Amino acid sequence: MEGYGMRNLPREVIIKEVGPRDGLQNEKEWIPTDQKIAWINMLSNTGVREIEYSSFVNPKMIPALKDAREVGRKIKRNPNVVYSALVPNMKGLEFALEAGIDGASVFMSASEMHNQKNINKSIAETYPVLEEVIKEAKAVGKRVTGYVSTVFDCPYQGKITPEQVLEVCQRLVDAGADDLSLGDTIGTAVPTDVEKLLEVLLKHFPKEKLILHFHDTRGMAIANIMTSLHYGVTRFDGSVGGLGGCPYAKGATGNVDTNDVLYLLHGVGIQTGISERKMQQAGLYIQNLLGKQLPSRSLAYISNA
């Protein structure tokens, strides 16, 4: 890493809005399909360049997203937005392709126990499943992102080493994944953890391939994003209003609020192409639908202004 100063910050960052997927998957409240679609359409007009709109997983495990196929068919697609969805296996890929995706997000965990709880397989059993999904998705021209969860801490196993993460990342890239999304699933990392991981991964993968996916359980996500920016990382996930969490990771709370990320990035002079005002409106819309205050500093701030 060359120095640690404002001069090294990138000029532009790409944010993927994962609220309709990571945000809603953890919610007990059922959001009617039409309202989900209206929300995704609002997000599509914020200037955001990527939206993860749903999950093609076992609906018994994630009931909040059981309408993924209808959502995918009915959202109004903005040609400037890349629409992706979570895909765990070939059945999920088949449904996702029918519904329409630009990108498939496959996912597994660097921790054996979280992988088992989340997708009902060992890490070794997961590789062939995802390798087939990646191969087929690439064969039909889709971009593939490989999510790796619990890259810092696992709620069941504790600390995960950068070497464990590297091994999973390498297998996904060898299988053909275009990008890697590194998940701080339970939101416990601090900036030195991020440094240690990036020091290892950036020896093996170009920075353009890496996406950082922070949950904000301990309020460290913005500090962790700032640290990642100094390493040249230019791609981050956010969930508007700070919605989110993995129901199969004890203690996982919301993702970093996209609005906080925008406030940071725009404040330090980094472009995103996203309108903060429109993103806040999208946050208020889903907050009203869920009928509860979201864990969002920015929404609380504008509501009280």
Q: Which positions touch ligand HMG (CB under 6 A)?
A: 22, 25, 55-59, 61-62, 86, 88-89, 91-92, 95, 107, 118-120, 147, 149, 183, 185, 213, 215, 246, 248
Return the one option of ligand HMG, Mg ion, none that residue 119 interacts with (CB less than 5 to 8 A, by type).
ligand HMG
Return the one option of ligand HMG, Mg ion, none that residue 58 interacts with (CB less than 5 to 8 A, by type).
ligand HMG
Return the one option of Mg ion, ligand HMG, none that residue 147 interacts with (CB less than 5 to 8 A, by type).
ligand HMG
For the bound state, the minimum distance from the C-beta of residue 150 to ligand HMG, rounded and expressed in Å, comes to 6
For the bound state, the minimum distance from the C-beta of residue 254 to ligand HMG, rounded and expressed in Å, comes to 10
Nearer to Mg ion by C-beta: 2 or 64?
Answer: 64
Cα angle at 50 between 12 and 189, to 5 degrees?
70
State yes or no: residue 193 binds Mg ion (CB under 5 A). no
State yes or no: residue 153 binds Mg ion (CB under 5 A). no
Nearer to ligand HMG by C-beta: 43 or 189?
Answer: 189
State yes or no: residue 52 binds Mg ion (CB under 5 A). no
By CB under 5 A, how many residues form the interface with Mg ion? 1
Catalytic residue list contains 246:
yes
Is there a contact between 118 and 248 (Cβ–Cβ < 8 Å)? yes
User: Among residues 101, 246, 262, 282, which one is catalytic?
Assistant: 246
Task: Output phi, psi for 261, to 5 deg.
Answer: -65, -40
Return the one option of ligand HMG, Mg ion, none that residue 135 interacts with (CB less than 5 to 8 A, by type).
none
For the bound state, the minimum distance from the C-beta of residue 217 to ligand HMG, rounded and expressed in Å, comes to 11
CA 207 to CA 230: how far, in whole Å? 11
Is there a contact between 111 and 149 (Cβ–Cβ < 8 Å)? yes
State yes or no: residue 22 binds Mg ion (CB under 5 A). yes
For the bound state, the minimum distance from the C-beta of residue 165 to ligand HMG, rounded and expressed in Å, comes to 11
Is there a contact between 114 and 133 (Cβ–Cβ < 8 Å)? no
Nearer to Mg ion by C-beta: 55 or 287?
Answer: 55
Return the one option of ligand HMG, Mg ion, none that residue 55 interacts with (CB less than 5 to 8 A, by type).
ligand HMG
For the bound state, the minimum distance from the C-beta of residue 244 to Mg ion, rounded and expressed in Å, comes to 6
Is there a contact between 223 and 288 (Cβ–Cβ < 8 Å)? no
Which residues have a catalytic role annotated? 246
Binding residues for Mg ion, rule: CB under 5 A, are: 22
